Amino acid sequence: MSDYRAPVKDALFTIRQVGMLDELSKTERFAHVDDETATSVVEEYGRFMQEVFAPTNATGDRQGLQWTAEGVTVPPDLVRAYGKFVEAGWQGLNAEEAYGGAGFPEVVFVIGAEFMIAANGALSMCPGLTTGAIECLQEWGSEEQKEVYLRKLVTGEWSGTMNLTEPHAGSDVGLATTKALPQDDGTYLVTGTKIYISFGEHDMAENIIHLVLARTPDAPAGTKGISLFIVPKFLVNDDGTLGDRNDVRCVSIEHKMGIHASPTCVLSYGDDGGAVGYLVGEEGQGMRAMFTMMNSARIAVGVQGLGLSDVAYQKAWQYAQDRRQGREIGAESKEPAPIIVHPDVRRMLLYMRSHIEAMRALVVHNAAALDLSRALDGDDAERWREVAELLTPVTKAWCTDVGCEVTSTAIQVYGGMGYVEESGVAQHFRDARIAPIYEGTNGIQAMDLVGRKLPMRMGGVVNDHLAEMRALDARLEAAGADFASIRSNLTAAVDALARATEWIMTNGLADPKQALAGATPYLSMFGNVTGGWLLARLALGAHEELAAGSDDVEFLRSKIVSARFYAEPYLPRAAGLLGAVQAGDRDLYAVDVDGLASL
């Protein structure tokens, strides 16, 4: 058994305060998901993950994967766990009911994803990519494709992948050269090589449905010439049974720093003439279709930072109670004390806890915006779509950057034992380190934020976000002395973010390099301030529940402490980043390439 415990109570509190479930349950799309139903699903999902997935985490990390020319073998414990996942029907939690899904909102789904990632980050990659494939085909697939592929993906009997990267084409997908040659029967023959394909080959599912970007003959250069194709591992017969093996092979897997039980594959298409593929949507729409999958994946990668942080925190919290070193300051006892009594250890634990709560709130708020954009109509839907668009790069990048910091801090709590693999905590740091690279590096997310998201509606979207954060001031003032430092520090941080936003938009119009030079510190600033605002909302919710007579005093008071602890030492960092945002690009190009070399 693993010692991971799904933080069900924290998760439900976050959904209650920032997940807008009441509003969602009033819409036709989510009328079947009330508070009681959502609670039961979150509780059961948490139980399943801590009992079924979590015990396989260390096993998968130690044993890793076996590659042969015939395929990839996953450790048997993980195969069994995935089989139970499929039997329980969890894969289709947020999929459309028309194709066998449960139709739950993203605010519930992302909490389930947090539990799954915390329980086994490597294994979670398979269901996570399948979810992306489902969402892509729901929006872009033909009715025939949905009937043939979507139903089996929703059950989890078949898994899905996303094939973008090639040896010479990473983030610059427009350089991709994989070919798709049209055939008389309406299919295409796909040839080329794709790399870094997570769960591109494995023995857990009956079939693997690859979504592959490729170019048709005479397609224009760049992203406009890219189309999307379904390329199944096994072809599907007219009666739905599996037919011949398609012309796609895993020629190797990568040996990675972390996520050892997740096969990262090099896939070769067309070694024997061409893999049979089926066009999704129209030719030239590949990037539009793939971005449906990628935007979902970017939120999911942000959840990786959250989930791995929480499991690392749980281990650090427990170790800090068990490990005895040094005497407690001011205590009469001369015996070694648990290190959890020492101020610096408390500081690290509160840093971890408060940032985990901020990440969870950001993920849930982003998910709720996405849900409302789908469930409402007209201007209301558009407003929430804008919020989701604005927050997605922040969720992806800020949560994964913080995830690396939190998992590293967990090692620090352990001291020397944290650096020893047998302690188990180092794995979470190793597993987390890939997340800032996945689905567009965090630098690309920062460029997306300043280059595409800030200009939305001529700056109106980001200004609405700043105004909403400022609107919390009256509630914070009314809450009294316990909230005074939260109020003052949040006000100062929002003001600093507003100044940075104005500088980025003004100088970026004149010279995009100026904005891009400050993009990464700007995104850090944005995440820091938005996280503080959401923690303040959680604290106010706790304050109101206490005033209403809740007897869950310790839990609710801890939410106020988390928000105040975050506000006092961490929100002021926003103003400290202002100089980095406004520094511009002068020194970035003040020396030539040779001048950057070591001397």
- Report whether pLDDT(2) > 60: no
What is the tens place of the pLDDT at every residue in 433-461? 999 998 889 999 999 999 999 999 999 99
Query: Catalytic residues, which ones?
Result: 439
For the chain, give the number of residues: 599
Beta bridge partners of 190: 180, 275
Q: Which CA distances in Å does 357 have to 40, 167, 343, 532, 533?
A: 21, 38, 21, 10, 12
SS3 575: helix
Is the Cβ–Cβ distance between 211 and 161 less than 8 Å?
Answer: yes
Is the Cβ–Cβ distance between 103 and 94 less than 8 Å?
Answer: yes
Residue type, 512: P
- Report whether pLDDT(1) > 60: no
Largest CA distance in the chain: 87
The least confident of 150-159, 177-186, 323-332 is 323-332
Cα–Cα dist 212/274, whole Å? 13
pLDDT range class, residue 599, cuts 50, 70, 90: low
What crossing angle do the helices spanning 460-470 and 484-510 adopt, rounded to 10°?
170
SS3 548: coil
Share of residues in the chain with pLDDT > 70 (%): 99
What pLDDT, on the 0 to 100 scale, is given for residue 352? 98
What is the tens place of the pLDDT at every residue in 356-396? 999 999 999 999 999 999 999 999 999 999 999 999 999 99
Is the Cβ–Cβ distance between 583 and 37 less than 8 Å?
Answer: no
pLDDT range class, residue 190, cuts 50, 70, 90: very high
Ordered by start, the domain boundaries in the chain are 8-287, 441-599
What is the tens place of the pLDDT at every residue in 223-257? 889 999 999 999 999 999 999 999 999 999 999 99
Cα–Cα dist 461/363, whole Å? 19
Cα–Cα dist 554/485, whole Å? 21
Q: Which CA distances in Å does 332 have to 270, 320, 329, 336, 341?
A: 75, 20, 9, 11, 14
SS3 30: coil
Cα–Cα dist 487/243, whole Å? 63
Which one is predicted more confidently, 21 or 591?
A: 21
Burial class of residue 40, CB neighbours in 10 A (0-12, 13-18, 19+): exposed
Range 8-287: architecture per CATH = Beta Barrel (2.40)
